[in-house]
Amino acid sequence: MNPAFSVVFLTTLSGAGQGLLIALFGVELSTRLGIIAASSAPPPMFFVLGAALVVVLGGLGLLASFFHLGHPERAWRAVAMWRTSWLSRECLALPVFLAGAFAYGIAHWLGSPWSLAIGALGVLASAVLFVCTSMIYACLRFLQEWATPLTMVNFVLLGCASGFTVATACAAWFAPSLVAGLAVCAGALTLAGCASRVASLMRNARLRPKSTVQSATGIKSEKLEQKSRGFTAGAFNLREFFHGKTPQTLQRIKWTFLVGAFALPLVLIALGGSVPSIALSFWLLCAACAVQYAGLVAERWFFFAEARHPQNLYYRQAS
């Protein structure tokens, strides 16, 4: 497939926001349950600014999605097929998630006793959004690289990993006593995301196309060699369903995201969670956020490019 950067930014930005909201709720729940001592409880601004950052990330993702539309003024029609379309359900779930994050931040700003309940609803909306986004791709059975439970697992783990990394950086500024614990969570999620992504890479490397040149052209001959795709000019099929990159380029991008999304952030998170200097810890964790997000952009680009559309058996043949 030909990756659209609008969708790449939508899924990575909103995923980080979803993971951040889950991290904020986890901190508040742990404080209420006594897992985090009252003396180490973060100030309200940790939750207020964290929720604001969730809204910013999700809003930027929503804004990026409009660049994928041929007619943005008709975007409202995307929700019309919510009964059968995972894309329509995502279009409904994302604003609900943003509203939940906004309400969560306001609740902490006002000191509302209902903040935990509002956060729980926000986490539920985040989970629904993860399901809707991942199922857009996992439900496409003719794209074998996507049609696997690992697609949903990867979306959830990578979103949570980046969100917890951002939460750890926020804690370094507002609640240094929480940095070590959040760094462990961010590191564990990053490791889990790496394991699941490597598992999907290994699975996809073993896949073989179910379609053939015979089934693509409708010619039943056992000995069939295609010399031309029938036209020389560009077409929608060539632009939309094939990225045009060489196998060597794909290999470089794969190793880039494995290092950028997993290896380097793990090192930076470990350093940021262990150094005694608050300022140094903050900047190391900010670097971890930036490096990890750049790696996840490469990972999501590769995710789309990795899918081999059956139509390419015919349309990729050069004249």
Backbone φ and ψ of 251, nearest 5°: -65, -40
Average pLDDT for 142-159: 96
Q: 10 Å Cβ neighbour count for 15?
A: 29
Q: Poorest-confidence range of 34-38, 127-131, 310-314?
A: 310-314
Q: Is 95's pLDDT higher than 70?
A: yes
Rounded distance between C-alpha atoms, residue 86 and residue 233, angstroms = 34
- At residue 258, the 3 state secondary structure works out as helix
Rounded distance between C-alpha atoms, residue 74 and residue 195, angstroms = 40
Rounded distance between C-alpha atoms, residue 162 and residue 26, angstroms = 15
Which percentage of the chain shows pLDDT scores above 90? 74
List of residues 6+ apart from 176 with CB closer than 8 A: 278, 281
- Of 28, 223, 49, 34, which Cα lies nearest the Cα of 119? 28
Average pLDDT for 69-98: 86
Average pLDDT for 159-164: 98
Per-residue model confidence (pLDDT) at position 232? 61
- Of 265, 264, 284, which Cα lies nearest the Cα of 275? 284
**Given pLDDT bands bounded at 50, 70 and 90, which one contains residue 60?**
very high
Which has more confidence, 186 or 3? Answer: 186
Q: Is 213's pLDDT higher than 60?
A: yes
Rounded distance between C-alpha atoms, residue 98 and residue 55, angstroms = 6
Rounded distance between C-alpha atoms, residue 189 and residue 200, angstroms = 16
Per-residue model confidence (pLDDT) at position 270? 97
Which percentage of the chain shows pLDDT scores above 70? 95
Q: Is 289's pLDDT higher than 80?
A: yes
Average pLDDT for 301-310: 91
Which has more confidence, 1 or 124? Answer: 124
Q: Is 138's pLDDT higher than 50?
A: yes
Q: In this structure, are residues 272 and 284 in contact, taking their beta carbons and an 8 Å threshold?
A: yes
Per-residue model confidence (pLDDT) at position 319? 40
Q: Poorest-confidence range of 100-104, 105-109, 223-227, 247-251?
A: 223-227
Q: Is 233's pLDDT higher than 70?
A: no
Half-sphere exposure of 84 (CA within 13 A, CB side): 2
List of residues 6+ apart from 151 with CB closer than 8 A: 134, 137, 138, 200
Average pLDDT for 156-162: 98
Q: Is 236's pLDDT higher than 80?
A: no
The 10 Å CB-count burial string (b at 16+, else e) for 16-28 is: bbbbbbbbbbbbb
Per-residue model confidence (pLDDT) at position 215? 76
Per-residue model confidence (pLDDT) at position 208? 85
pTM here?
0.93
Per-residue model confidence (pLDDT) at position 175? 93
Half-sphere exposure of 167 (CA within 13 A, CB side): 33
- Report the mean per-residue pLDDT for the chain: 91
Average pLDDT for 38-51: 94
Domain 5-218+232-315 has CATH 2.60.40: no
